[in-house]
Amino acid sequence: MDPISFFTQLACLLLGAPLLQGFIKKIKSRLQGKRGPSVLQPYYDIWKLFRKDSVLSEHASWVFRFAPYGVFMFTLTAALFVPLYSLKAPMAHAGDCILVVYLLGMARFLQAAAALDTGSAFGGMGSSREMTIGSFAEPALFMALFAVGLHFNSLNLNEMVSGVSQGGAAHVSFFNVLLFVGFFVVLIAETGRIPVDNPSTHLELTMVHEAMLLEYSGSYLALIEWSKAVKQFMFFSLMANVFLPIAVLEGSPATLSSLGIFSLKLVILGYITAWVETLNAKLRLFRVPNLLLFSMGCSFLAMLSIIFVR
Amino acid sequence: MGSKESFILMNLLLLLGTFSGLILRGSPRICSYVSSAFTALAAVCGLFLSGNILSTGKAFSFNLPGLIPWVDFAFFLDNVAAFFLLIISLLTLAISIYSIGYNEEHYHKRDVGLLCIGINLFILSMIGVVTANSAMIFLIFWETMTLVSYFLVVYEYEKEESVSAGFIYILMAHAGTAFILTAFLLLYRHSGSLDFTAFRTSAGDLPGGLKDLLFVFFFIGFGIKAGIVPLHIWLPKAHPAAPSNVSALMSGVMIKVAVYGLIRMVMDVLGGGSMWWGGVILVVASVSAVFGILYALVENDIKKLLAYSSIENIGIILMGVGASMVFSSVGLHGPALIALTAGLLHALNHALFKGLLFLSAGSVVYSSHARNIEELGGLIKKMPWTALFFLTGAVSICGLPPFNGFVSEWFTFQGLLMGFGALEGGSKVFLPMVAIVLCLSSALAAACFVKAFGITFLAMPRSEHARHALEVPLFMRLGMGILAVLCLLLGVLPQYILGPIGNVASTLIHAEVYVGINGVSSDLFTLAPLKLNLSSFSPQGVFLLLLTLMGGLLLILGIPYKKTVLGETWGCGIPALLPKMEYTATAFSKPFMIIFRDIYDITEDVEKIASPTPLQPHFVRITRYRASVGHIFDRYFYELILQAVMAVSSRMQVIQTGSMHLYLLYIFVTLIVLLFWAR
């Protein structure tokens, strides 16, 4: 890890994440016939929240206060392992995709535990639903990552991305299409978008992720919203670099063209996500495992195709 | 002090602990203090001894020939035995310190001396099992372990639940011992002696069919004690019924001793076998992992939840062992070493965090006298240390970084995924499938422990029991603290234990293979990475990065204790939130009950009790919801076995006519037949 790439990636994550969030929201609004908030609105929201005071429940303990810091810390650490615009993520050899998934799992654990801390039934409900969806989303995510990793004989994210880059430009093979579909479903589940969860609902009984945040305010809420954006950015980057092998990444230092390609891929994926969100309705909670099992099935078929389709 | 002196001293101290329990029964406080002190000192000796053997690699033999005629007390401590001795000693140290405070609960109700005698004898017998070098000694100590633990399980004999739990336990344990005994007798017939070294040398020319039979018998026998599904039904009954320090010993150590027996017999003595052995172990391990955690998810008794979670972790340990056997059978020693290292490391880690969890659960029960988590809540404010230790244990058991559970799960993933590149044909995907099952069980464990920690410790107290809970005495906190610190240490600095474990693994797979797993530190956040075929991982680097980011956050935002106003939780307009409005444990796991309803044989009952007054007979005043999870193994496995046994017995009843003449005729005919046959 050299300090330049470390701080550049940190800056890109922290500054780029709200932009992606705002962009997807803008596209969704346009698709629904509205003008929508400004693309920079998430920045204004985070800035506003940091300047506000917090009101905390009197039943909450230190777990509630610590959780936003913990979630932010673990999400950011996981995101530092993902190669964004170059073939080298800063934390190249310190961890692999298993570590990344479990760091996100720790963030989820802290968030879910803190949601139970205020004694609110909404928090408990959100916590329960999040852990249910998470217990299927994690194996599905692993399945997709293992399919790619075992194909390129490495679980290290840098090497997975360089393996995909060397595989050549846009070749649509059975393997790639299956993996794209499989991982896209996981992306929807992990970033909490329709059809798994509605990020802009106001009805508590339909919330999954939002219900865990109901009692947070001020800088705590700012940290959690920011972590959510960073996690989303991380998943979109994984999707762009690993599961969308068109227009490969260039070399190891970041060049202007690789930055441009990366941004273009994120824009395309943002459009696809917005379309999927607009065209679908939210699934019943108990149908979500079926969806994630479908994703696991796609990734499993992809894995089989490595062995048998040569 | 050499190995021999420390071995003798350790056993002597445990015997002294037993005798002090016997002699000082009159005054419970002194008895408990003195006996636990002896146990703790013995644990220190054990740590010293095992550290000595593991670091120098010199095996150590100990024989007591003339003690009892025809019984040769042959003990042999190679690095395998030393590793399991390390597990026993670490947990004994923590539990004995904990017991000094915990035994207070039993001072005026029961005989504390018996508890102290039992614990010391239990630990002594487990050390005997792990160090035995002869089938006779092994079985003597194995049987002692079972009997002493039976008496400890029924220690609270006035409770119906304890007595019936003890009965099932001793029944199943003896069934297991019968299988092990049969296997030993078959080996004795083949090799001519009861010594393990004789077994080992003669195992080379065992006929294939006999070897497979031996594997099946050993697997069933040790599996019953370890708690594999479907032979696990005694575990969720016996572990909760025992006093909490005993539960920690049973769940943390005894089931590892069973895994030791399996590994020692199948991998070391029999020398490994065909690939299907590993395959069977992997299948059973996967089923145990998933079913164990599924049943833990819907359990509301905190100790039963932990017992089911032990079944899950035994599954994870056996995944590593099974993968190792699959690799060894085709001669791939490198991956076999990695997989077995994973299994052994998980055995150590599980002992640590399961011991910690049981001790914390014991502290909760000690303060609040309630085992049902639906009656607890808000304990984090009254028992902050216990809550912190339970949280450490919960995070470790879910395999979350930077604690030790993650390191062993990472290794298990690596071992399993190596199967894709190393094996051929259909088995290429089998091992990655097991890895996905591991991931599923780990994700379910996270849900289970969020529930266990959240409902027990957070929010508001749900009953009088929880409202009057107080923090536990110092010694109990010390015992838990030792284990919690070890959990973090082994998560951040695992390389110090990985070397010895690698040596233990290479002894077991009979191959002098060294897989260099220590990579080169390349930069600040990649300190001492563990480098394997598929990927690398630096525990210290990640920990350092986490600390740096946390430090940065605290610097920029300040510690989270400023500029906050306290208010009431939003309750949709109701002025004050009641504990009744909180989320319950049953509600938390209801989505799982619905999704997996085919596995949980659920019976649900909703009862609406109308208003008692005759003026409003149609308004529902009380709604009562009752849901119970059946156990499909009871219904489809044990019921069928029982029915088969009863059917066969009633068929055979025909020969019991009651007529003395017919019985004499039976004896006569049998005699004639035997005389002809033995000719």
pLDDT tens digits, residue range B654-671? 888 888 999 999 999 999
DSSP structure string for chain A: --HHHHHHHHHHHHHHHHHHHHHHHHHHHHHTT---S-TTHHHHHHHHHHHS-EEEETT--HHHHHHHHHHHHHHHHHHTTS--SSS--TT-TT--HHHHHHHHHHHHHHHHHHHGGG--HHHHHHHHHHHHHHHHHHHHHHHHHHHHHHHTT---HHHHHHHHHHT-SS---HHHHHHHHHHHHHHHHHHT-TTT--TT---GGG-SHHHHTTT--HHHHHHHHHHHHHHHHHHHHHHHHHS--SS----SS--HHHHHHHHHHHHHHHHHHHHHHHH--PPPGGGHHHHHHHHHHHHHHHHHHHHH--
B366 band by pLDDT with thresholds 50, 70 and 90: very high
Cα-Cα-Cα-Cα dihedral of B88, B94, B95, B96, to 10°?
100
CA distance A35 to chain B (A): 33
- With tokens 């391990």, the residue in question is B285
Average pLDDT over residues A251-266: 77
Average pLDDT over chain A, rounded to whole?
88
Helices (H), B423-460: 427-457
Cα–Cα distance, A155 to A148 (Å, whole number): 8
Task: Say if the Cβ atoms of B564 and A55 lie within 8 Å.
Answer: yes
CB pairs under 8 A between A and B: 252
Q: In chain B, which residue's Cα lies nearest the Cα of A154?
A: B534
Share of chain B above pLDDT 90, in %: 55
pTM of the entire predicted model: 0.94
Is the pLDDT at B418 greater than 90? The verdict is no
DSSP structure string for B303-355: HHHHHHHHHHHHHHHHHHHHHHHHHHHTT-HHHHHHHHHHHHHHHHHHHHHHH
Query: Which chain B residues are closer than 8 Å to A99 by Cβ?
Result: 401, 406, 410, 537, 542
**Of the partner residues A69, A106, A119, the one whose CB lies closest to the CB of residue B400:** A106
Q: In chain B, which residue's Cα lies nearest the Cα of A222?
A: B557
Is the pLDDT at A250 greater than 60? The verdict is no
Give the pLDDT confidence of A88-106 residue by residue, as tens digits.
777 777 888 999 999 999 9
Q: In chain A, which residue's Cα lies nearest the Cα of B551?
A: A73
A170 band by pLDDT with thresholds 50, 70 and 90: very low
B579 band by pLDDT with thresholds 50, 70 and 90: confident
Give the pLDDT confidence of A274-286 residue by residue, as tens digits.
999 999 999 999 9
Give the pLDDT confidence of B171-195 residue by residue, as tens digits.
999 999 999 999 999 999 888 888 8
- Backbone φ and ψ of B60, nearest 5°: -140, 125
Query: Which chain A residues are closer than 8 Å to B560 by Cβ?
Result: 65-66, 68-69, 220
Which H/E stretch holds residue B531? strand B530-531
Average pLDDT over chain B, rounded to whole?
89
Start-to-end CA distance of chain A, whole Å, equals: 37
B153 band by pLDDT with thresholds 50, 70 and 90: very high
Q: A5-9, A228-232, B235-239, B486-490 — which is least confidently predicted?
A: A5-9
Cα–Cα distance, B332 to B325 (Å, whole number): 10
In this prediction, residue A249 carries a pLDDT of 57
Q: How many CB atoms lie within 10 A of CB B5?
A: 12
Query: Which chain A residues are closer than 8 Å to B550 by Cβ?
Result: 69, 73
In this prediction, residue A168 carries a pLDDT of 53
Q: In chain B, which residue's Cα lies nearest the Cα of A149?
A: B534
- 3-state SS assignment for residue B263: helix
In this prediction, residue B379 carries a pLDDT of 93
**Of the partner residues B451, B535, B566, the one whose CB lies closest to the CB of residue A155:** B535
Average pLDDT over residues B298-324: 95
Residue B127 and residue B142 in contact, taking contact as beta carbons nearer than 8 Å = no
Q: What is the DSSP letter of B267?
A: I
- With tokens 């800063």, the residue in question is A90
The DSSP bridge partners found for residue B61 are: B76
CA distance B321 to chain A (A): 21
Query: Which chain A residues are closer than 8 Å to B571 by Cβ?
Result: 120
Residue B548 carries which side chain, given as an amino acid letter? T
List all residues of chain B from 554 to 583 with a beta carbon under 8 Å from chain A. Answer: 554, 557, 560-561, 563-571, 577, 579, 581-583
One-letter-per-residue 3-state SS of A16-41: HHHHHHHHHHHHHHHHCCCCCCCCCH
Task: Say if the Cβ atoms of A138 and B442 lie within 8 Å.
Answer: yes
Among residues B401, B380, B381, B403, which one has the least CA distance to residue B390?
Answer: B380
Give the pLDDT confidence of B500-520 residue by residue, as tens digits.
898 899 888 887 776 666 766
Is the pLDDT at B352 greater than 60? The verdict is yes
Average pLDDT over residues B258-272: 89
Strands (E), B50-108: 60-68, 71-77
Which H/E stretch holds residue B566? strand B564-567
In this prediction, residue B334 carries a pLDDT of 86
Residue A269 carries which side chain, given as an amino acid letter? L
Residue B92 carries which side chain, given as an amino acid letter? T
Cα–Cα distance, A148 to A175 (Å, whole number): 9
Query: Which chain A residues are closer than 8 Å to B565 by Cβ?
Result: 53-56
B595 contact A CB<8A: yes
Average pLDDT over residues A246-265: 72
Give the pLDDT confidence of B525-571 residue by residue, as tens digits.
777 777 777 888 888 889 989 999 999 988 888 776 666 788 888 77
In this prediction, residue A169 carries a pLDDT of 46
Is the pLDDT at B524 greater than 80? The verdict is no
In this prediction, residue A1 carries a pLDDT of 58
User: pLDDT: is B676 or B271 the higher one?
Assistant: B676
Strands B71-77 and B60-68: antiparallel
Query: Which chain B residues are closer than 8 Å to A113 by Cβ?
Result: 391, 450, 453-454, 458
Q: What angle do CA B603, B608, B611 make, to 5 degrees?
A: 160
List all residues of chain B from 359 to 398 with a beta carbon under 8 Å from chain A. Answer: 378, 380-381, 387, 391, 395, 398
In this prediction, residue B533 carries a pLDDT of 78
Helices (H), B263-301: 275-297
Query: Which chain B residues are closer than 8 Å to A112 by Cβ?
Result: 450, 454
Strands A54-57 and B564-567: parallel
Task: Say if the Cβ atoms of A113 and B526 lie within 8 Å.
Answer: no
> Which residues are CB-contacts of B420 (< 8 A; sequence separation ≥ 6)?
A150, B428, B429, B431, B432
Average pLDDT over residues A158-168: 76
Task: Say if the Cβ atoms of B399 and A106 lie within 8 Å.
Answer: no
Among residues B60, B81, B57, B531, which one has the least CA distance to residue B344?
Answer: B81
List all residues of chain B from 511 to 530 with a beta carbon under 8 Å from chain A. Answer: 519, 522-526, 529
Start-to-end CA distance of chain B, whole Å, equals: 60
Helices (H), B509-637: 539-557, 585-588, 590-595, 632-633
Give the pLDDT confidence of B399-413 residue by residue, as tens digits.
998 999 999 999 999
Instruction: Report in angstroms the alpha-carbon separations of A20 from A195, A219, A237.
Output: 19, 21, 11
User: pLDDT: is A110 or B67 the higher one?
Assistant: A110
Cα–Cα distance, B451 to B630 (Å, whole number): 21
Average pLDDT over residues B107-121: 88
Tally the C-alpha atoms within 13 A of residue B362's C-alpha that lie toward its C-beta.
32
In this prediction, residue B39 carries a pLDDT of 93
Check whether the bond before B614 is cis (ω within 30° of 0). no
Q: In chain B, which residue's Cα lies nearest the Cα of A130?
A: B447
CA B282 to chain centre: 18
In this prediction, residue A89 carries a pLDDT of 78
Mutation choice for A interface testing from B542, B556, B568, B596 by most A CBs within 10 A: B542
Is the pLDDT at A152 greater than 50? The verdict is yes
User: pLDDT: is A111 or B204 the higher one?
Assistant: A111
In this prediction, residue B24 carries a pLDDT of 85
List all residues of chain B from 413 to 442 with a beta carbon under 8 Å from chain A. Answer: 413, 417, 420-421, 428-429, 432, 435-436, 439-440, 442
Q: In chain A, which residue's Cα lies nearest the Cα of B566?
A: A56
Give the pLDDT confidence of A104-123 residue by residue, as tens digits.
999 999 999 999 998 888 99
CA distance A103 to chain B (A): 6
